[in-house]
């Protein structure tokens, strides 16, 4: 049986804006659980071309990176906003909408969960340190944490897809973000929160696999079976 094909938009996000860049663990984990990554440059401008590529794959993964353009949810950019790439925003938001419409499995990570929420009509907290009371230290890079190391715990709603996959109602996760979901989009359910109330995971209950997490499971999965199961169950849904 052929490996399920997973479409991953790949942006230009190196400091010199000269190279397409994607963390290798996204790819490695998908391959480890039997998936076949298909990379789509976010500079692709012909909608028909990448719509045809989307139609040929079995699932979509949205990955981490810079901030979503605040104008897409009706706000002026906060001074801490960085790395905005409107072309990437528009491509990934379109893919998120198509996947929901078609019930095509979608796994959204960090920036990806934010894209998912904005695509469906939600909004974001633009800067947790200045806009969220009593925020935990969500930006592990500012605190010297390795990417595989847990930064805080999340509480997971019982009876959810996420709880079933991770096999627990409390998980230790890493954290490398300064934005998060604010107004939740219609059709999504909050399924995990940090102790400070920040939304850490959402899913669409009636879809095969439409799940977003605010942490970076790809960097924990090589040493954490529970995080690798997120990739395994995603690829299994792509096979279905």
Active site amino acids: 110, 216, 218
Length of the chain: 240
Closest CA to 88 of 58, 111, 57: 111
Q: How many CB atoms lie within 10 A of CB 47?
A: 11
Please check whether residue 118 is in contact with residue 222, taking contact to mean a CB–CB distance below 8 angstroms: no
- Please, is 80 exposed, middle or buried when counting C-beta atoms within 10 Å of its C-beta (0-12, 13-18, 19+)? middle
Helix 111-119 to helix 86-102 angle (10° resolution) is 70
Residue recorded with tokens 């939740």: 184
């Amino acid at each position: 049986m052929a490996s399920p094909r997973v479409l991953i938009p790949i942006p230009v996000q190196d400091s010199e804006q000269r190279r397409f860049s994607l963390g290798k663990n996204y790819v490695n984990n998908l391959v480890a659980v039997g998936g076949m990554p298909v990379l789509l440059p976010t500079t692709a401008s012909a909608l028909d071309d990448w719509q045809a590529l989307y139609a040929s794959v079995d699932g979509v993964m949205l990955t981490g990176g810079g901030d979503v353009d605040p104008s897409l949810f009706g706000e002026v950019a906060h001074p801490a906003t960085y790395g905005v790439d409107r072309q990437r925003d528009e491509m990934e938001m379109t893919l998120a909408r198509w996947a929901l419409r078609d019930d095509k499995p979608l796994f959204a990570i960090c920036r990806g969960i934010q894209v998912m929420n904005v695509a469906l009509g939600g909004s974001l907290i633009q800067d947790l340190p200045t806009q969220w009371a009593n925020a935990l230290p969500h930006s592990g890079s500012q605190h010297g944490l390795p990417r595989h190391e847990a930064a805080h715990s999340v509480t997971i709603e019982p009876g959810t897809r996420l709880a079933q996959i991770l096999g627990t109602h409390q998980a230790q996760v890493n954290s490398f973000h300064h934005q998060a979901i604010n107004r939740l989009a219609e059709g999504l359910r909050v399924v995990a929160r940090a102790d400070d109330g920040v939304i850490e995971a959402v899913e669409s209950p009636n879809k095969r696999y439409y799940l977003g997490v605010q942490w970076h499971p790809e960097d924990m999965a090589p040493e954490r079976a529970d995080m690798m199961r997120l990739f395994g169950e995603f690829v299994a849904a792509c096979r279905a």
